[in-house]
A and B are shown apart, each in its own frame.
Chain A
Amino acid sequence: MRTCLVVDDSRVIRKVARRILEDIGYEIAEAADGVEALAWCRAAMPDAILLDWNMPVMTGIEFLRRLRAEPDGETPVVVFCTVENDLAHIREALDAGANEYIMKPFDGDIISAKFAEAGL
């Protein structure tokens, strides 16, 4: 089964995302910030990561830069999922190695479409 790590400091968002992603066939792991997410990735690299931007301890963008520098860190498809909805943030995410980008609020259709867009 394909695995997806859901990284968001909101438990509610993680729960909503988990339900949507389980429906499209993912096994889900959860992390509440970038440091937790990095620990998950070092233990077992997921196939996909749904990634919030603004989080305590370590932000999504910082996590992504570190992830891409890890061994095998190029493997996961990373889809940002954030309230940041301006071009500067989108470009910064793409430059850091994000594959797709969801602007909140999202629903099941947007997640499925964006995961398909990212080649998942």
Chain B
Amino acid sequence: MTAEEIAQIVSLCRVRAGLKVAPDKTYLMESRLGPVARREGYDSITDLIVAIRERREEPLIWATVEAMAGGETSFYRDREPFRQFREEIAPQLLRARGGAPIKVWSAACATGQEVYSLAIAAGELAEAEPQVRFEFAASDLSRIALDRAQSGLFNQFEVQRGLPIRQLARYFEKDGEQWRIAEEVRQRVRWRRINLVAGLRQIGRFDVVFCRYALSHMTDAAQRKVIEDLTFILPEDGVLVLGLKEQVAGLAEAFQPVVGRPGLYRPNPEFRAAAAA
């Protein structure tokens, strides 16, 4: 890729999705954009970029940006946040809401492992206490990731990263060489494509937002915007879950860390009052 082509991709990703694409990671760009070019019928990445510049077609632009946004995920990634959800966050909220459903959003769900891990945990909580209710929403920028997430299909490598074998045996069925998550788990989740920088304040209220390892791939300006919007989505006792060591611009003012729980934050009510004024 030429310097000019790289600059165009970097700029496109920043403007459309707040993504921070490192211009020196040519290999990453080529490995992500090569398949997009092929899928869209172009002979090379150069042809793809020419087509974007000349035609400005939205689907092509988004296919390109979405390919650059794709992230890593696995079942129960980092483990501890899921234990905390199950043993601390969910029970506290269930008590506080007195029977109203707990609304959980996996805000950069990629291929779905995170939200399915949460939905399995919630199902087990509900088994112990049948009056317990949860609603799960999952979103991602990438339509391809969302389609895969929604299919509930995972390969043998994916189901062996983080998922205990007893849960595989209980919640999955073999489907050819793949594994398909049980319909009862899949149906707990509502899916939607969401661009986090497009404005989140109309999205409704959520008690818990998992937004892990997505913001650190965004520009500082995009991080501040998403963080500020999240304070309007979460109630005062709501919880934002970031990646374990994620540094995010604007976080220290808008949220307060939960003591002893790395990655967990609650909205700062003073910040919200000031931002709304």
Contacts and interface: CB of A to CB of B under 8 A. Distances in A.
A94 B160 contact: no
Nearest to A111: B160
A114 interface: yes
A94 B174 contact: no
A103 B174 CA distance: 13
The B interface is mostly helix, strand or loop, or mixed, namely: mixed
Interface residues of A, number: 17
A90 B168 contact: yes
Contacts of B169: 87, 90-91, 94
A101 interface: yes
A75 interface: no
B24 to A, nearest CB: 27
Contacts of B156: 85, 103
Contacts of B173: 87
B156 to A, nearest CB: 6
29 contacts: A85-B156, A85-B174, A86-B174, A87-B169, A87-B173, A87-B174, A90-B168, A90-B169, A91-B169, A94-B166, A94-B169, A100-B164, A100-B165, A101-B165, A101-B168, A102-B160, A103-B156, A103-B160, A106-B160, A109-B161, A110-B157, A110-B160, A113-B161, A113-B162, A114-B160, A114-B165, A117-B162, A117-B164, A117-B165
Contacts of B160: 102-103, 106, 110, 113-114
Nearest to B162: A113
Interface string B164-181: 111011000110000000
B162 A90 contact: no
Contacts of B165: 90, 94, 98, 100-101, 114, 117
Interface residues of B, number: 12
A97 B173 CA distance: 21
Nearest to A90: B169
A100 B164 CA distance: 7
Nearest to B169: A90
A103 B157 CA distance: 9
A94 B167 CA distance: 12
A90 B156 CA distance: 13
A87 B166 CA distance: 11
Interface string B232-275: 00000000000000000000000000000000000000000000
Most chain A CB within 10 A, of B162, B164, B165, B169, is at B165
Contacts of B161: 109-110, 113
Contacts of A109: 161
Contacts of A100: 164-165
